[in-house]
A = this chain, B = another copy of it.
Amino acid sequence: MSRNLLLISTSTTHGTGYLEHAEEEVKALLEGKSSILFVPYARPGGISNKEYTAKAREAFEKWGIGVTGVHEYDDPVKAVQEAEAVFIGGGNTFLLLRNLYANNLVKPLRERARKGMPYMGTSAGTNVAGKTIGTTNDMPIVHVKTFEALELVPFNINPHYQDPIEGSTHMGETRETRIAEFHNHNRQPVVGLREGSMLRVKGDKIALLGPHSARVFLQTEKPMEFKPGDDINFLLDAY
């Protein structure tokens, strides 16, 4: 598969501006391109498609990349088919996937991204690049007919991955417990991607970028930590 993906845990890390921490990697992904199609459907905090697209446009225009919002097209399928590159922004993952299905975009996005069109996602947009949205942290604010996602990679991602907070008196499940529960019902690996981390996929190679290690959960093994530079290509194997 000639994939060209950049899967970012969070658009904004603490103390940096929108997409700032990923500037170098975004520029590398979009080398030679002059425009990107933005998918604002996840609507963080309920902002409109228009407002959200304006936010993305502001960031990319600094880098000489033009942005159009997929909602601006009468035919969103055609917009995807003709895009130079696609960026799906964060927000609510259920709402995002529901809107992708409602606009018949799952199949064309999958086809084009698998054939090498540059794809980037942040948070919910990273989640939907995985096999299913079954490891999202988001609230199920709308129902979606299936959790099957774009499956640009054969594993699931948990963005904004958090380690247990030491000394916490909160009794809700830790992230690790939730992922263990997921593995009682699903067999694909899960990559816990901490804020500031990114996965860069080129063809059949995958690399962890950013300042942190990532926590990888396999169904029948203890959780493992991988540092940037470690070989994690096994994640792209069929399981």
Contacts and interface: CB of A to CB of B under 8 A. Distances in A.
Contacts of A15: 169
B170 A195 contact: yes
B160 A172 contact: yes
Please report whether the interface of chain A is mostly helix, strand, loop or mixed according to DSSP.
Answer: loop
Size class of the A contact interface (CB-based, 8 Å): 35 or more
A137 to B, nearest CB: 6
Contacts of A233: none
Contact of A137 (B91, B135, B139, B182): B139
Nearest to A46: B184
Contact of A147 (B13, B140, B186): B140
Nearest to A182: B141
Query: What is the copy number of this chain in the assembly?
Result: 2
A14 B143 contact: no
A179 interface: yes
Nearest to A146: B143
A87 B14 CA distance: 42
A46 B137 contact: no
A43 B180 CA distance: 12
9 pairs of A and B residues whose beta carbons are closest in the complex: A14-B169, A160-B172, A46-B184, A141-B182, A139-B178, A10-B171, A143-B147, A142-B185, A141-B185
